[in-house]
Structures are given as C-alpha cells and as structure tokens.
C-alpha cells in the first residue's frame, strides 16, 4: 500500500523519539521512501546516523546542512505525507501559529500533502488548555492527529501521553495514503441551517453553523469519495469537493437534494432544516407600527423531505439523518430512525456543554438500523465525521457480505 510513497518523517525532541526509529523501519519495510527530518532537540535523544541508516536518504537536521538553498520546499512539495512522531507541545504550538524556525516547521508550512502528527508528552502537558487549543486549531486546518496512549511514562508515573504504538501509527499512515474506503463512492452532504423569509429583510433560522456537515464533506473527500455539498453557509469549501450547491430555504434545499440523492451512494443530511416557516411572507419590509402593535406571524410546517428520501431510497444507498435534541436523546433518535427509514442516525444533546451548534466540538450517539449503537464522547467535529463515515462503511460492508 505504501510502495513508492514519499513520506517526510519529522522527529522532535522528546523521550519518545526512540520509538520513531521503529516507525521509520516499518515505513521503509512497507515500501515507502522515507526522508527523516530531525529537530535540534531530537538529536539529544537519538542520533541522525540511525535514521540515515534506516531511512531512504540521509537524515536532515538543518536548513543549512546541504547546498540546497530551499530544502523545505523540496521536501514539502515532494511529499505524499508529512508525519511527525513524536510531536512535542513546542512543535504543535509553533505549527499552529505558523512559525517556521527550523527545517521541520518550514517543511510543514511548505507542503500541501496530508499531515499526521503524533503527540507525546507528560499527562499534565497533554491536558493543558493551550496544547488542546493548538490541536483544535490544527484539526480545523485538516491536520490529522493520532492521540497518545495511556501507560507508563518517563518518570515512572502512569497516564495519557505516551506515543501511539509504531504499528498503530503505520496503520494510520496506510489508511491515509491508501485508496480510501470510500473510493469511487458518491456522497451527498447537506450542511447548515435553512433560512425561512418573514419579509425581504428578516428570516427565521436556527443556530447551525454547518461545521459538522463541512467536516463530513472534508473527511469523505479524504477517503476517496466524490462529494457533492448542498449548503446554506458561506464557509470555505473543503478542497476536493466536486460540486457545491448554495441554497437558503428548506424548499430550496429540497429542490437541490432530492434529484441529486437518486444518483448518490450515500446521503448525509447533516443540515438543520427548518420545521416551520412563515405561511405568508411579506413582499415588503414590515414596518414598526406607530401605535406599538406587533405583527402576528402565522407559521406553517415545512415539508420533511427526508421522509421522501427514505421512501424512494435506491437499492444499496446509505441514508444518514441527524437529530439535535435537548431531552430523551436515544428515544427521539430511535423514533426518527424508524419513521424516516434511515440506515443510521447521528444524535446529539445540543444543551450539553461544548456540543452541537456553532461549536468546534461535539459528542454524539450513532445508532444504526441494525441496532448497533456507538457513543462518541466529546471531540473535534472532524473526529465525529470520521466516526460517522466509519458507520457508513460498516453498513455498506454488511450489505455487500449479505448480497454475496
């Protein structure tokens, strides 16, 4: 799977640097061309000669150790992936803030290849708000994080912070650089909250930012899918999305989604579609009355076209719904799963801290029509996206095995 793939292996100055030797060996054994880049502090723990012997080319430790005037550009542009293992708190902070004061950080800023960072540090450092905020920033930019494991740490105590096992790291590299478990699959994602006009100026809407839907679109692209994004927001479109359709109201979203869903292998309705809209929107701005009277706005229900999608779902299609709840999470989600004939539903309690609308994080329960339930604790929405698409892949594989 890694045959001929070019990987820059960045090694930072932490005790876990010795494990990077095994990572390097495993990558080369898997067929990858590995270019080791060691920071100055990494040399306090491991030797450049070791990585030169095991890597595919001599280890680099400085911007100035060869006649090449732009080594970071050569490394960054030529890489299929940049892997940093271990990634220290110092490296994560510099990378998150765009600092480039050595060869490794220059290379990270000079690449458009996928970047995989593998943090390793003491538990207290790992749990620091500053470290977690830097990681959150990097995740929003598409950087993938391999979380540290719990276990015995330098100093003898036990906790979270030890570098992920080299075999785990290499397996994730193979997953990132492999053909992708959604290669050739058409995925339609709906994102954002609809806006229902009261008059030409005012609307009824909700607090959905579209962040979760965009994260799912980005993750689907990374896994090799051909992605169509129907959205109500003007957020930056994830690179690689094949088609973007801008909509505003629930009716406009229905008009965009329904015909495209017929030709889609997977439909993910992450959008927050309004349940109600003004029955008779004014064709002019409603003015404040001099006598202080307040206009009465009569609401009507919007059409729940997700029900239609469930009824006319093509054979083999995976239909994913979302349920934003404030109480009876599982009960309400399971009811929607059954009534709308979904293959799986993603439910979250939007009243819980750090979850749901407008946040960069979320915590969800993924319920499959088969009865399988997967709880995903509070994490970044890109990680939630990965869990949702993992469930989609499980459903597709289960169907394929049944059909054969």
316: left (phi over 0), alpha (psi -120 to 50) or beta: left
206 classed as catalytic: yes
Distance CA 113, CA 301 (A): 46
User: Residues 389, 223: contact at Cβ < 8 Å?
Assistant: yes
Going from the C-alpha of 364 to that of each of 235, 334, 355, the distances in angstroms are: 23, 13, 8
Active-site residue, from 106, 134, 206, 348: 206
Token pair listed for 350: 């939007």
Count of residues making up the chain: 404
In terms of Cα–Cα distance, which of 131, 133, 108 is closest to 121?
Answer: 131
Sheet holding 144-145, edge to edge: 33-38, 6-11, 81-87, 115-119, 144-145
List residues with catalytic annotation. 206
């Amino acid at each position: 799977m890694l045959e001929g793939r070019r990987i820059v292996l960045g090694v930072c100055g932490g005790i876990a640097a010795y494990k990077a030797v095994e990572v390097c060996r495993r990558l080369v054994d898997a067929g990858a061309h590995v270019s080791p880049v060691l920071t100055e502090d990494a040399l306090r723990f491991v030797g450049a000669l070791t990585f030169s012997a095991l890597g595919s080319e001599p280890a680099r430790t400085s911007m100035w150790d060869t006649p090449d005037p732009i080594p970071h550009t050569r490394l960054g542009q030529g890489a299929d992936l940049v892997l940093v293992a271990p990634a220290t708190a110092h490296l994560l902070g510099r990378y998150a803030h765009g600092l480039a004061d050595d060869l490794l950080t220059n290379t990270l800023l000079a690449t458009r290849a996928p970047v995989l960072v593998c943090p390793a540090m003491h538990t207290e450092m790992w749990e620091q708000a500053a470290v977690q905020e830097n990681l959150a920033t990097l995740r929003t930019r598409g950087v993938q994080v391999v979380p540290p494991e719990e276990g015995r740490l330098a100093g003898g105590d036990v906790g979270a912070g030890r570098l992920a096992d080299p075999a785990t790291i290499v397996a994730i590299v193979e997953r990132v650089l492999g053909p992708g478990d959604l290669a050739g699959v058409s995925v339609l994602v709906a994102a954002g909250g609809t806006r229902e006009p009261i008059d030409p100026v005012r609307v009824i809407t909700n607090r959905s930012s579209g962040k979760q839907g965009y994260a799912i679109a980005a993750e689907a692209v990374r896994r090799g899918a051909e992605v169509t994004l129907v959205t109500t927001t003007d957020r930056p479109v994830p690179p690689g999305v094949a088609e973007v359709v801008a909509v505003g109201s629930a009716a406009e979203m229905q008009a965009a989604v329904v015909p495209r869903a017929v030709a889609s292998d997977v439909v993910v309705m992450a959008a927050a579609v309004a349940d109600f809209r003004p029955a008779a929107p004014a064709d002019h701005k409603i003015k404040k009355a001099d006598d202080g009277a307040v206009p009465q706005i009569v609401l009507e229900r919007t059409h729940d076209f997700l029900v239609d999608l469930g009824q006319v779902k093509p054979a083999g299609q995976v239909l994913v719904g979302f349920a934003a709840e404030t109480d009876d999470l599982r009960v309400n989600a399971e009811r929607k799963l059954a009534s709308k004939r979904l293959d799986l539903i993603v439910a979250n309690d939007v009243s819980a801290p750090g979850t749901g609308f407008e946040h960069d994080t979320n915590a969800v329960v993924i319920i499959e029509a088969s009865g399988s339930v997967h709880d995903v604790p509070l994490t970044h929405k890109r990680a939630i996206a990965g869990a949702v698409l993992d469930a989609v892949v499980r459903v597709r594989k289960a169907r394929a095995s049944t059909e054969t």
